[in-house]
Structure 1
Amino acid sequence: MPDATEDAPAAATSDRFILSTVAGLAGAFVLFGLLVDGPRTALQGLVAIQLVRDTLVTDYIGVGGKGAAFLNAGLLTLVACGFYWRCRAKMTGGAVAALLLVLGFALFGKNLLNVWPIVGGVWLYCRLKGEAFGAHLNTAFFGCALAPVVSEILFSTTLSPMVTLPLAVATGIGMGLVLVPVAAQLFKAHGGLSLYNMGFAAGILGTLVVALYRSYGFVPAPVFIWTRGNNLLLGAFLFALFAALAALGLWHDRGAARHFRSILRMSGQAPADFIGAAGFGATLVNMGVSGALGTLYLVVIGGDLNGPTIGALMTIVGFAAAGKHPANFLPVMIGVFIGTLAKPWNAHDPSLQLAALFGTTLAPIAGRFGWHWGIVAGFIHSSAALAVGDLHGGLVLYNNGFAAGLVASVLGPVVAVIKGRKVEA
Structure 2
Amino acid sequence: MHGRLRDPPPTWINAAARTRHGGQDDTGDGEMSGTGVRPATAAEGPAAAEDGRVLLVVAAIAAAFLLFGLIADRPGVIATGLFKILLARDTLITDYIGVGGMGAAFVNASLLTLIGCLIYRIAGAKMTGGAVAALLLTLGFGLFGKNLLNVWPIIGGVWLYCRVKGERFAAHANTAFFGCALAPIFSEILFSTTLPFTVTLPLGLATGLVMGFVLVPVAAQLFKAHMGFSLYNMGFAAGVLGTLVVALYRSYGFVPAPVFIWTSGNNLWLGVFLFLIFAGLAAAGFAMDRGALGGVRTILAMTGQAPTDFIGAAGLGATLVNMGASGALGTAYLLVVGGDLNGPTIGAIMTIVGFAAAGKHPGNIWPVMLGVFIGTLAKPWNADMPSLQLAALFGTTLAPIAGRFGWPWGIVAGFLHSSAALAVGDLHGGLVLYNNGFAAGLVASVLAPIIIAFRREKPDAANASPPATPSGTAR
CA distance in 1, matches of 2:274, 2:232: 23
**Counterpart among 130, 138, 163 of residue 102 in structure 1:** 138
Q: Is residue 363–residue 374 contact of structure 1 (8 Å, CA) maintained in 2?
A: yes
Secondary structure, aligned partner of 1:194: coil
Q: Is the counterpart of residue 298 in structure 1 residue 334 in structure 2?
A: yes
- Greater helix share, structure number: 1
CA distance in 2, matches of 1:22, 1:127: 28
Q: TM-score, normalising length from structure 1? A: 0.97
Q: What's the counterpart of residue 217 of structure 1?
A: 253
**Counterpart among 361, 368, 372 of residue 397 in structure 2:** 361
Secondary structure, aligned partner of 1:271: coil
Q: What's the counterpart of residue 281 of structure 1?
A: 317
What do residues 367-414 of structure 1 show as CA deviations (whole Å, max 9, x unaligned)? Answer: 000010000000000000000000000000000000000000000000
CA distance in 1, matches of 2:225, 2:79: 44
**Counterpart among 42, 51, 74 of residue 78 in structure 2:** 42
Q: Is residue 413–residue 447 contact of structure 2 (8 Å, CA) maintained in 1?
A: yes
After the TM superposition, list the runs of 4 or more consecutive aligned residues in structure 1 that deviate by more than 3 angstroms: 10-13
Q: Is residue 256–residue 429 contact of structure 2 (8 Å, CA) maintained in 1?
A: yes
Q: What is the Cα deviation at residue 13 of structure 1?
A: 6.1
Q: What residue identity is the alignment partner of 1:384?
A: A
What do residues 99-130 of structure 1 show as CA deviations (whole Å, max 9, x unaligned)? Answer: 00000001000000000000000000000000
Distance 1:81 1:29, change over 3 A: same
Q: CA RMSD in A?
A: 1.2
Q: What's the counterpart of residue 360 of structure 2?
A: 324
Q: Is residue 13–residue 279 contact of structure 1 (8 Å, CA) maintained in 2?
A: no
Q: What is the Cα deviation at residue 424 of structure 1?
A: 3.3
Q: What is the Cα deviation at residue 158 of structure 1?
A: 3.1
Q: TM-score, normalising length from structure 2? A: 0.87
Distance 1:378 1:12, change over 3 A: farther
What do residues 154-189 of structure 1 show as CA deviations (whole Å, max 9, x unaligned)? Answer: 113232110000000000000000000000000000
Q: Is the counterpart of residue 136 in structure 1 residue 209 in structure 2?
A: no
**Counterpart among 76, 83, 105 of residue 69 in structure 1:** 105
Q: Is residue 413–residue 423 contact of structure 1 (8 Å, CA) maintained in 2?
A: no
Q: What is the Cα deviation at residue 11 of structure 1?
A: 10
**Counterpart among 160, 169, 185 of residue 205 in structure 2:** 169
Q: What is the Cα deviation at residue 12 of structure 1?
A: 9.5
CA distance in 2, matches of 1:323, 1:23: 21
Secondary structure, aligned partner of 2:284: helix
Q: Is the counterpart of residue 388 in structure 1 residue 421 in structure 2?
A: no
Paired residues in the alignment total 417
Aligned runs of 1:153-232 on 2, under 5 Å?
153-232=189-268
Secondary structure, aligned partner of 1:14: helix
CA distance in 1, matches of 2:313, 2:85: 39
Of residues 337-346 and 251-260 in structure 1, the stretch that sits farther from structure 2 once superposed is 251-260
Secondary structure, aligned partner of 1:43: helix
Q: Is the counterpart of residue 346 in structure 1 residue 389 in structure 2?
A: no
**Counterpart among 457, 460, 466 of residue 421 in structure 1:** 457
Q: What's the counterpart of residue 409 of structure 1?
A: 445
Q: Is residue 48–residue 64 contact of structure 1 (8 Å, CA) maintained in 2?
A: yes
Q: What's the counterpart of residue 370 of structure 1?
A: 406
Structure 2 residue runs without a partner (length 5+): 1-37, 39-45, 462-475
Distance 1:13 1:259, change over 3 A: farther
CA distance in 1, matches of 2:386, 2:62: 26
CA distance in 1, matches of 2:195, 2:88: 16
Q: What residue identity is the alignment partner of 1:155?
A: F
Q: What residue identity is the alignment partner of 1:354?
A: L
Q: What's the counterpart of residue 92 of structure 1?
A: 128
Distance 1:11 1:135, change over 3 A: closer
Q: What is the Cα deviation at residue 261 of structure 1?
A: 1.3
Q: What residue identity is the alignment partner of 1:307?
A: G
Q: What residue identity is the alignment partner of 1:107?
A: L
Secondary structure, aligned partner of 2:116: helix
Q: Is the counterpart of residue 118 in structure 1 residue 147 in structure 2?
A: no
Q: Is residue 309–residue 354 contact of structure 1 (8 Å, CA) maintained in 2?
A: yes
Secondary structure, aligned partner of 1:27: helix
Q: What residue identity is the alignment partner of 1:151?
A: S
CA distance in 1, matches of 2:294, 2:278: 19
Q: What residue identity is the alignment partner of 1:76?
A: L
Of residues 189-198 and 152-161 in structure 1, the stretch that sits farther from structure 2 once superposed is 152-161
Secondary structure, aligned partner of 2:264: coil
